[in-house]
Amino acid sequence: MRDVRSGSRRARLAAAAVAVALVAGATACSKSGAGGDSSSGNGNPSKTSAGTVAIKGDITFNDANLAKIDAALKTALAGKDLSKLDQAMVVNVAVDYWNAGKVGFKKGLSDLGVKGTYQAPANGRLDQQLSIIQTLRGQGITGLSVSAIDPTAIKAPIASANKAGIPVLAIDSPLPKEDGASLYLGTPNYQAGQKAGMAMKQALGNKGQVVVLVGSLTTSNAVERIQGFEDALKGTDIKVVQKLSDGMDASKALTNAQTAIQTNPNINGLYGVYSYDGPSAGQAVQAAGKSGRVKIISDDSDPQTLKFIKSGTIQATVVQQPYQQGYTGAYLLTAFKVLGKEATLKIVQPYLESDGTTLSSGVGLVTGDNLSDYQAKLKDLGIG
């Protein structure tokens, strides 16, 4: 789960981001989801001394298309009265990953001249998230973007919001179409899982035993990522031997990683799905004295994850654009409320994935080779 403005500054940042992103191709362009597996510049993956394939980084994301959407929506909103709008962004847990989303949401609101609030349940608890949404409804919000902890539990609040004329945008984790969210803005999670799986294949040289560390085995984004990861491993001698849920508890994730390594000496790969799972895996591998021998592919760009990338403890991390989920999310909520759903979707439709309901914020891959480029990109966006 992880980060990605309007006016002249927005244009400059988007151009800078695209320039930086030429490091590689991403999985998040419109329609096809673009990108795929990266290799060396000549199309032939280079080999490491151990015979495994060197992992190529990729930070293109979907910045250029989202910048076009933002500009088109802002033009369509020009001259409209936005003074009575009060938008809300509610995420699934208060972790570093979402700081970028918060920055993006506030910047989007500021560029539009719209009021709004950002909220996150401290411990990732469903009852906290539902309580936050209920409180915000009582305060008169006019739009809601949400990373739902549980797609079933969020169905009634979405139905209630729609009945009251409050548009709902799913971010980060998709929701079933029947739940009533107007659109999904976020990572194509199956593609993200595939990218992690391809990186693991390269890291392990197509042979080994892998444990998956994840915050939830039922949340849709996690389910899709793990499926993509496993599908990417098909045809190899890599086996996923365990999938361990930590209930969104970083300390539990660390215990899971430590126990897995201690009880099965044949494990040579860990895949950390939630933002804190990568650091937990890194700590466990480092403490066991197995850095470099047990390969780690993680998700997201938690600061500790990036430190482990730099030291070589984590081989690669699949990164998202929560900044854009916040920024473009603010634009979409405003357009849904002011222009209407049909007019807004007409503008967005050319940029949707093949499922017709996903607006990709992009998928990237950070390795030791492109870490500095990625950090420069974050700095350009005012993050980190």
| Least confident interval from 76-80, 91-95, 285-289, 316-320 | 91-95
Residues facing 118 on adjacent strands: 89
Ranked by mean pLDDT, the top range of 80-84, 186-190, 377-381 is 80-84
Task: Give CA–CA dist 114/331, Å, rounded.
Answer: 10
Q: How far apart are the first and last CA of the chain?
A: 16
- Asked if 104 and 327 touch (Cβ cutoff 8 Å), the reply is yes
pLDDT at residue 26 is higher than 60: no
pLDDT at residue 2 is higher than 90: no
Give the model's confidence band at 60: pLDDT under 50 very low, under 70 low, under 90 confident, else very high. Answer: confident
How many other C-beta atoms are found inside a 10 Å radius of the C-beta of residue 12?
12
> Stretch 358-376: mean pLDDT, rounded?
96
Question: For all residues of the chain together, what is the average pLDDT?
Answer: 87
Digit-coded pLDDT (tens) for 296-333: 999 999 999 999 999 999 999 999 999 999 999 999 99
Q: Which residue has the higher pLDDT, 47 or 199?
A: 199
Q: Can you give the pLDDT at residue 52?
A: 55
Q: Can you give the pLDDT at residue 278?
A: 97
Q: Can you give the pLDDT at residue 14?
A: 38
Q: Which residue has the higher pLDDT, 6 or 192?
A: 192
Q: Can you give the pLDDT at residue 384?
A: 67
Q: Can you give the pLDDT at residue 161?
A: 97
Please name the residues in contact with 141: beta carbons below 8 A apart, sequence gap of 6 or more. Answer: 86, 87, 88, 117, 166
Q: Can you give the pLDDT at residue 53?
A: 62
